[in-house]
Amino acid sequence: MGSVALLLLVCSSWLVSMAAAAPGPPIRAVNLGGWLVTEGWIMPSLFDNIPNKDLLDGTQLQIKSTTQNRYLVVDQGGASAILADRIQASSWETFRLWRINETTFNFRVYGGQFWGVDSNGALVATATTPGPSETFQIVRRDSDKTRVRIRAPTGLFLQAKTMASVTADRAGEYTDWSDNDPSVFLVNNVGNLYGEYQICNGCGIARATQVLRSHWDTFITEDDFKFIALSGLNAVRIPVGWWIASDPNPPLPFVGGSLQALDNAFRWARNYNIGVIVDLHAAPGSQNPYDHSATRDGSQEWGTTDANIAQTVQVIEFLVSRYANNTALLAVELLNEPLTKYYQDGYNAVRRYTPTAYVIMSNRLQIADQKELLQFASGFPGAVLDVHYYNLFDSKFENLTVEQNIDFVRNNRSADLATITNQNGRPLTFVGEWSAAWGVQGANPTDYQRFARVQQDVYGNATFGWAYWTLQNVNAVWNMTFMIQNGIITLK
Ligand SMILES: *[C@@H]1O[C@H](CO)[C@@H](O)[C@H](O)[C@H]1NC(C)=O
Ligand SMILES: *[C@@H]1O[C@H](CO)[C@@H](O)[C@H](O)[C@H]1NC(C)=O
Ligand SMILES: *[C@@H]1O[C@H](CO)[C@@H](O)[C@H](O)[C@H]1NC(C)=O
Ligand SMILES: *[C@@H]1O[C@H](CO)[C@@H](O)[C@H](O)[C@H]1NC(C)=O
Ligand SMILES: *[C@@H]1O[C@H](CO)[C@@H](O)[C@H](O)[C@H]1NC(C)=O
Ligand SMILES: *[C@@H]1O[C@H](CO)[C@@H](O)[C@H](O)[C@H]1NC(C)=O
């Protein structure tokens, strides 16, 4: 081979490898939300056909005795008897379901204990883990699902004959469902979760596997990556759950197969020269009480033990060892919960496999102190600080006009961003979630265009870049595909 030919070969393989490298900052990205971590509001139809789908894990019930006209309450919040004497319902009067199947549940009280029946037949909440003796059946009236009877593990129904106790001592299937029957209760459903835990446990393993695999195959496809590239975006941020690390056999109720979908995403990303941010979005024990942490009932137990942090670091290790040498890997986002011990260990785990992938740490979702992580994150080469900017989720946005919303982004958000931007670029800054959703009613397309534009202008100053939430969503304004196809968002 002549030296010119050799030079050409070297150059062309260098060109090929350059072309294949993930784009670097500043990135213009879109989140692939609601794909590998379920969020019901993004795609509600996933929950169709689940029997009693208003009684999934984590459903919060307030339960009123019709006879006493009083709410059930766990006295002192937990580790005590259930009474039927409260006029108003708040936290001690709210019970969270753990679903066994469509009719059978554990009831968790404020303090974390579960309903059971003591030796006198009284309803108490003393057990700290639920077993057969903490398992109750809800029997709903056909014509009015809010009217229920509750069968205790003994087979007898609960009744509130007085305000001073609830007893499991009513035999017989028959009721006239009237207020005079002390075994009839009125149920107020005051909170629901529609996350990964709910869909998996609500469907059961066999059906959940079908539903989710079909979702993973159709919700995001290679065509979406083509669209992303043609639209002028250069990266995706992909939320994943901790169970992906034990694919194909994750612990129940989670189902396997999301790893294959993530592998596909990396292949498509390479085909279209798109960078991938792998974003651990749900940690074991759940780092927040929202659907998207895959919590069972809203309790937040992540980060409370070393074991649980170590397990999370192993998830990062699994992901980074799999994709470290993939040219599409742009960054690993450790979790949207700033626990510095975990961030330190997670950062080290990433660096054991790659010197170049960015490592993203995140401010708390709603925080007063925006600089909480600034100093800490500045100590790590290649660290990025993620902030989420929505003109929502805070009463201060409730009644803002179009102009006030735009001014807020132009003035307040740009000041916020400047606050966390160090001149030396350590850490880099990333608006990892934003959208054109707001509290304005009746806005027209031009209003949305201007609101999206000012955000692109301001967040364009973030040194790592930004990512819209999200690519696909049944709600048009949260659906970047819709926003781009309809000319509301354009990339320069
Ligand atoms: C639900 O679980 C209970 C307790 O294991 C069982 O007795 C019942 O048959 C189950 N019901 C359904 C509909 O699977
Ligand atoms: C990545 O590639 C390097 C060089 O080929 C190799 O030494 C390393 O083991 C690879 N890492 C992984 C995680 O596959
Ligand atoms: C927004 O307007 C509504 C209706 O006028 C009012 O009830 C509410 O208090 C306002 N919210 C704030 C935060 O000012
Ligand atoms: C935006 O910043 C201005 C100037 O600092 C401040 O007066 C105003 O209260 C801020 N707006 C909101 C909604 O926080
Ligand atoms: C971007 O940052 C620079 C420097 O802080 C500032 O002067 C400029 O106004 C910012 N642009 C926007 C659109 O916020
Ligand atoms: C998002 O919008 C596109 C374009 O209108 C539409 O084809 C797609 O079905 C939407 N996604 C969802 C999940 O509804």
Which numbered atom of ligand 5 lies nearest the CA of 454?
Answer: 13
The predicted-structure confidence for 16-63, as pLDDT tens digits, reads as follows 444 456 788 999 999 999 999 999 999 999 999 999 999 999 999 999
Do residues 406 and 328 share a domain?
yes
CA distance 295 to 278: 20
Contact (CB, 8 A) for 454 and 438? no
According to DSSP, residue 356 is labeled S
Do residues 269 and 402 share a domain?
yes
14 falls within a domain = no
Contact (CB, 8 A) for 262 and 269? no
Do residues 187 and 203 share a domain?
no
Q: What is the mean pLDDT of the chain?
A: 94
Ligand 3 centroid to Cα of residue 407, in Å, is 19
152 falls within a domain = yes
The predicted-structure confidence for 138-167, as pLDDT tens digits, reads as follows 999 999 999 999 999 999 999 999 999 999
Report residue 463 as tokens.
């040194």
For residues 484 and 10, the model is more confident at 484
The predicted-structure confidence for 122-135, as pLDDT tens digits, reads as follows 999 999 999 999 99
340 falls within a domain = yes
Ligand 1 centroid to Cα of residue 139, in Å, is 12
Listed in sequence order, the DSSP H helices in 324-426 are 340-353, 374-377, 402-407, 414-419
pLDDT at position 490 is: 97
Smallest CA separation from ligand 6 atom 7, residue = 482
Amino acid identity, position 85 = D
Please identify, among 174, 191, 208, the residue that sits at the C-terminal boundary of a domain. Answer: 191
Which of 226-240, 359-373, 456-470 is predicted least confidently? 359-373
Do residues 330 and 473 share a domain?
yes
Smallest CA separation from ligand 3 atom 5, residue = 399
Please identify, among 191, 216, 249, the residue that sits at the C-terminal boundary of a domain. Answer: 191
pLDDT at position 23 is: 83
Model confidence at 3: pLDDT above 50: no
92 falls within a domain = yes
Model confidence at 1: pLDDT above 90: no
Ligand 5 centroid to Cα of residue 423, in Å, is 13
Do residues 276 and 344 share a domain?
yes
Do residues 213 and 276 share a domain?
yes
pLDDT at position 397 is: 95
pLDDT at position 17 is: 41
Do residues 166 and 31 share a domain?
no
Domain that holds residue 186: 60-191
Which numbered atom of ligand 1 lies nearest the CA of 101?
Answer: 1
Share of the chain above pLDDT 70, in %: 95
Q: Among 414, 431, 457, name the best residue to mutate to test ligand 5's pocket (greatest count of ligand atoms within 8 A of Cβ).
A: 414
pLDDT at position 13 is: 42
Which numbered atom of ligand 5 lies nearest the CA of 457?
Answer: 13
Do residues 105 and 239 share a domain?
no
The predicted-structure confidence for 173-229, as pLDDT tens digits, reads as follows 999 999 999 999 999 999 999 999 999 999 999 999 999 999 999 999 999 999 999
Residue 405 CB less than 6 A away from ligand 4:
no
Do residues 104 and 137 share a domain?
yes
Smallest CA separation from ligand 3 atom 6, residue = 399
Report residue 35 as tokens.
């794909």
Smallest CA separation from ligand 4 atom 1, residue = 412
pLDDT at position 6 is: 44
Q: Which ligand is nearest to the CA of 414?
A: 5
258 falls within a domain = yes
Q: Among 389, 401, 412, 417, name the best residue to mutate to test ligand 4's pocket (greatest count of ligand atoms within 8 A of Cβ).
A: 412
11 falls within a domain = no
Ligand 5 centroid to Cα of residue 409, in Å, is 12
What is the average per-residue pLDDT within 67-95?
Answer: 97
Ligand 6 centroid to Cα of residue 279, in Å, is 23
Domain CATH number, residue 310? 3.20.20.80
Residue 414 CB less than 6 A away from ligand 4:
no
Contact (CB, 8 A) for 274 and 235? yes
Q: Which ligand is nearest to the CA of 321?
A: 2
**Closest of 432, 399, 472 to residue 29, by C-alpha:** 432
Do residues 227 and 135 share a domain?
no
Domain CATH number, residue 180? 2.80.10.50
Model confidence at 10: pLDDT above 50: no
Model confidence at 458: pLDDT above 70: yes
Which numbered atom of ligand 2 lies nearest the CA of 353?
Answer: 13
- The band of 253, judged by pLDDT with boundaries at 50, 70 and 90, is very high
Measured between alpha carbons, how far is residue 405 from residues 184, 231, 391, 399, 479 in Å?
49, 26, 7, 10, 20
- The band of 447, judged by pLDDT with boundaries at 50, 70 and 90, is very high
Do residues 155 and 39 share a domain?
no
76 falls within a domain = yes
Model confidence at 406: pLDDT above 60: yes
Which numbered atom of ligand 5 lies nearest the CA of 461?
Answer: 1
Smallest CA separation from ligand 5 atom 12, residue = 458
pLDDT at position 7 is: 44
Share of the chain above pLDDT 90, in %: 93
Which numbered atom of ligand 3 lies nearest the CA of 399?
Answer: 1
Which residues have C-beta within 8 Å of that of residue 409, sequence separation ≥ 6?
389, 391, 451, 454, 455, 458
Ligand 3 centroid to Cα of residue 395, in Å, is 8
Model confidence at 421: pLDDT above 80: yes
Helix (H, G, I), strand (E, B) or coil at 361: strand
Report residue 383 as tokens.
């660290």
Query: For the chain, how many structural domains are there in total?
Result: 2
490 falls within a domain = no
Ligand 1 centroid to Cα of residue 84, in Å, is 28
Do residues 181 and 312 share a domain?
no
Please identify, among 191, 225, 244, the residue that sits at the C-terminal boundary of a domain. Answer: 191
pLDDT at position 474 is: 98
The predicted-structure confidence for 331-345, as pLDDT tens digits, reads as follows 999 999 889 999 999
pLDDT at position 20 is: 53
- The band of 8, judged by pLDDT with boundaries at 50, 70 and 90, is very low
